[in-house]
Structure 1
Amino acid sequence: MNIWNLNLRHLRALTSIARLGSISAAAEAINLTQPAITQALAKLEIQLGQLLFERHANGMTATPAALLLAPRIERALAHIASQRVTMAQLRALIMLADHGSYATASTATALAQPSLHRAIGDLSVALKRELVDRRGKGIMLTDQGRRIVRTFRLARAELEAGLTELASLQGVETGRITVGAMPLARARLLPSAVSAFYRAYPDVRINIVEGSFQELIEPLRDGELDLMIGALRDPSPGADVLQQPLFADRPVVLGRVGHPLSLTSVTISDLALYPWTVPAPGAPLRVQWEKMFTDADVQLPNVPIECGSVITIRQILLESDFLTLLSPDQVAVELEAGWLTKIADTPEGLRRTIGITTRHGWRPTGMQNAFIQLLGEVAL
C-alpha cells in the first residue's frame, strides 16, 4: 500500500471517529456530512484491507487496526498542521524538494509537470506562504518552504510507519528501515546487526546511508533517516534529538608496518613529531586526539590532511609516515593482513561513546524496535 493513494480527509475522519466514538460526532467535528464520512471510511477500509471499526447501534468501536493507525495519523496531521493541505500537495512539495526541479520530480513520480505546478501553487495559497523562489531558469525553496518540507517529511514517515504496523498486525513483516551510518558503525556493529536482522526479517528492507554526523543529522531531523549509529556528541546536538549509548570505544594510534615509531617505545612527544590525518575540528575523534596532546602538555602536531574516510586514511598511511587515531575495529582487516600496525595505545581515559541517535518523540515500529534491540545485543 502506497501512502500517496490515501486521502488526508479520509484519515482525519478515521481519527475523529476513533476519538469521539460515532460518525455523527465526527461529522460535526470535522465539518463533513455523515454520508461523506461513511463513504470515506468504507473506501479507507477497502484500501487498507482492514476492518477499522465495529458498528453498533450506539456508536463505533475501534478495531486493533484502527487503534494502531489512529495515533500515527494524529501525529502526521499535527506535523501538517493545516486541514487545507491535500495528499497531492504534500507529495508534490516533497518530490520537488527531493529532486530539485519540476522536470526531474515529474520524471520520478510520473506526474505531469502542470499537475506539480498546480499542486505547489494551490499549496502556497492554502498555507499563505511563498514556498518556491525562481532563480533564473532554476528554482529554490524559500526558508518557509524548507521548514514546511521538513514537517511534511515527518508526516510521511508517520504514515509509512502506520502502514508497516498494519501489515505486521496481519502477520506480514514488511517495510523499510533507513539507517545513517557514521564511520565507526560500518566496521563491525552495523554489519553484524544487519545480518542478524535479515535472518529474522527477510522481507524488511534496510537502507544504509553512509556519511559524517554533519551529513546525516539534518536527514534524521527531516524524517528521511529512522536512526543514526556512530559516535555520540557531547554536548548533545539539540533538544530535538535523543542519544542512546551502546558501548565505549578506545582508539589507538596507527601507522604503516615499518613506520619509524613501530620499532621503538613511544611517548606522546614522539607522536607529535610526525604528520597526522584526523577528522575535522569538532568531530569526537578529533576532540579525543587534541585531548591526548593537551593533557600531556605537548603542542598539537601538524594535521596536513583532515579526513574522516577510513579507506582514504588507510591509503595515506600505507604510502607515508602519517599517523592516525582509529578504533582497531575499523582497520581489523588491515591489521590482520600486516599492512598497518598499532604504534601506541592511547591514555586510559581517552574513550568515545558509540550509540544510537534518534529524533525526540520518535515512535519506532515493532521491527524498528527489534533492530535497535539487536544493535544492543551486538554491542555487548
Structure 2
Amino acid sequence: MASGLSPFSFNLRHLAAVAAVTHKGSVSAAASTLHLTQPAVTQAIARVESIMDVQLFERRTDGMTPLPPAMALAERVEQAAELIGSRRVTMAQLRAFLAVADSGSYAAAAAQSGLSQPTLHRAIGDLSLILRRSLVERRGRGIALTDAGRRTARNFRLARTELEAGLDEALGQSGGVPARITIGAMPLSRARVLPRALARFNTAFPAIEIVIVEGSHGELAESLRDGSIDMMVGAMRDPPPGPDLTQRPLFEDEVIIIARAGHPEAGPARDRPLSDLAGYAWILPSPGAPLRTRFDEMFRTAGLAPPPVPIECGSVMMIREILMQTDFLTLLSPDQVSVEQEAGWLVSLGAPPGGFSRAVALTTRAQWRPAPAQAVFIAELDRAATEPFASAYGTEREQICDSDR
C-alpha cells in the first residue's frame, strides 16, 4: 500500500463491523448479523477509525450514516470475507499462514514476520481446524502446502489485496494517501505505450506509487492470479490463459526482421524468399510464446522446416548484442530497435513474407474491480495505444508498439 498502512494492523472482525453497519444501516442490525453486542460493534468501528485516522460514519440520533470512506472500505471487506471463506478466521491466522506459504518454512516465516515458530504452528493448526482442511504437510525435513493449502494461500493473498485496495480507496476518499498501482510488464511490452501512459499518469498524479514488475507471461500470470500485481501488458494469448483471467486487446502490433548492419541479407528493400531466410540461425523466445508460434507456422505454411533457433531469449539488450556479433536474425517491433537503427547498428530486412501482426493486450483477473486510480491509469493506457509514435529523432512512426514476444 502507498500509505504503509497494512491490513495486518486491523482485526478482521472490526472490519466486518464496518461493512455490516454500512450495509445494514444501523449498529443494532449489524450486531444481530455479526452475533455481537451493540457496544462491541461501536467499539470496533471506533478502533478502525482510530487506526486509519479517518471518520467513517456520521453519528446521528436515528443511526449511523456511512461516509464515502466507509462505503469504499465496506465493498472490499465483503469481497475479502468471501475469499477467506469463514468469519471465524482471524487476521493473525491469515498473516501467519501467508508468512509460511510465502517463505516455505516455519523458520523463514518467523524471521520474515517477527512471529515465533510456536505462534506460527499454533495459528496454522487452528486455521486448519476452522477451515476443516489440511493446509501444510511434512516433506522430509521441510514442509509443503497441500493442494487445499495452495488454494487457500491464493484466496488469502487475493483477500489481502482486496483489503489493501479498500484501505487505499478509503484513505483516498478522505483526502489521504492514494492507491498504489502494480503493473506486470512482459519482456517486450515496454517500448512506447506503457512508458507514455506512465509518464502522463505520473504528471497528473505524482503522489501515487507505481510499481513495474518485469517477467515472462507465466511468471506474471501467477502473480496476477495471486493478487501480487493488478494488471499485465503484453501479447494476447491464444488460447486464453484461463477463465480466471480476462484479456482485452489494446492494439495490433507489427514486427519486422532485424539483422546486423552488413549482414549478407542486408541491402536494398526487396522481397526475400523464406527459403533464403531459412538458411540462417534465429534468436527468438521459447516455444509457446506467440511470436515463436507464428514464426514456426510461417515456415511450415510455406512447406519449409523452421530454421534452427539455437538461442532462445526475450531480452532485447541481449538480442541486440548477439545480432551485432553474428549473422543471426530475429523478429522485433520497430519501436524496440528504433535507436539501434538510427545509430546504424541494426537494419531492417522488412516485414516477414505475408505480414506478421499480433494483438497486444491488457490482462486482469476476471472478477477484478479497479480502484479509481487504477481505472484512470487504464484510460491513459487506452489513450496511448491509439496514438502514433514520434521517435527521439522526430520522425513519426506507425502505430506500433513492442509487446511480449
Q: Could you state the TM-score of these two structures normalised by the residue count of structure 2?
A: 0.89
For the pair 1:70 / 2:74, whether they are aligned, the reply is yes
Structure 1 alignment gaps of length 5 or more: none
Cα offset, 1:226, TM superposition: 0.3
Cα offset, 1:28, TM superposition: 1.6
Check the 8 A contact 2:69/2:171 in 1, yes or no: no
**Aligned residue number for residue 358 of structure 1:** 364
The counterpart of 2:146, out of the listed 142, 145, 159, is 142
Structure 1 window deviating more from structure 2 (271-280 vs 49-58): it is 49-58
For the pair 1:232 / 2:236, whether they are aligned, the reply is yes
What do residues 105-133 of structure 1 show as CA deviations (whole Å, max 9, x unaligned)? Answer: 22222223332222222212221221112
Q: Give the distance between the partners of 1:202 and 1:146, measured in 2 at CA.
A: 37
Cα offset, 1:237, TM superposition: 1.3
**Letter of the 1:328 counterpart:** P
Cα offset, 1:141, TM superposition: 1.2
**Aligned residue number for residue 166 of structure 2:** 162
| Secondary structure in structure 1 of the residue aligned to 2:287 | coil
Percent of residue pairs bearing the same amino acid type: 54
| Secondary structure in structure 2 of the residue aligned to 1:243 | strand
What do residues 139-169 of structure 1 show as CA deviations (whole Å, max 9, x unaligned)? Answer: 2111111100100011111111111111211
| Secondary structure in structure 1 of the residue aligned to 2:189 | helix
For the pair 1:84 / 2:88, whether they are aligned, the reply is yes
What do residues 193-233 of structure 1 show as CA deviations (whole Å, max 9, x unaligned)? Answer: 22222222222222111111111111101111100011111
**Letter of the 1:190 counterpart:** L
What do residues 81-104 of structure 1 show as CA deviations (whole Å, max 9, x unaligned)? Answer: 111111111111112222222222
| Secondary structure in structure 2 of the residue aligned to 1:38 | helix
Structure 1 window deviating more from structure 2 (230-239 vs 166-175): it is 166-175
**Aligned residue number for residue 13 of structure 1:** 17
Match runs of 1:80-229 below 5 Å: 80-229=84-233
Check the 8 A contact 2:179/2:208 in 1, yes or no: yes
**Aligned residue number for residue 289 of structure 2:** 283
| Secondary structure in structure 1 of the residue aligned to 2:306 | coil
Moved >6 Å (runs of 4+):
none
The counterpart of 1:258, out of the listed 254, 257, 262, is 262
The counterpart of 2:45, out of the listed 41, 48, 52, is 41
Let me know the Cα RMSD of the aligned residues: 1.7
Check the 8 A contact 2:188/2:316 in 1, yes or no: no
**Aligned residue number for residue 31 of structure 2:** 27
Match runs of 1:312-323 below 5 Å: 312-323=318-329
Structure 1 window deviating more from structure 2 (48-57 vs 74-83): it is 48-57
Cα offset, 1:259, TM superposition: 0.9
Q: Could you state the TM-score of these two structures normalised by the residue count of structure 1?
A: 0.95
Q: Give the distance between the partners of 1:337 and 1:103, measured in 2 at CA.
A: 53
The alignment covers a number of residue pairs equal to: 380
Check the 8 A contact 2:250/2:382 in 1, yes or no: yes
Structure 1 window deviating more from structure 2 (2-11 vs 333-342): it is 333-342
Cα offset, 1:61, TM superposition: 2.2
Cα offset, 1:18, TM superposition: 1.7
**Letter of the 2:338 counterpart:** A
Q: Give the distance between the partners of 1:22 and 1:165, measured in 2 at CA.
A: 23
**Aligned residue number for residue 373 of structure 2:** 367
Check the 8 A contact 1:277/1:323 in 2, yes or no: yes
Cα offset, 1:170, TM superposition: 2.2
Check the 8 A contact 1:292/1:350 in 2, yes or no: no
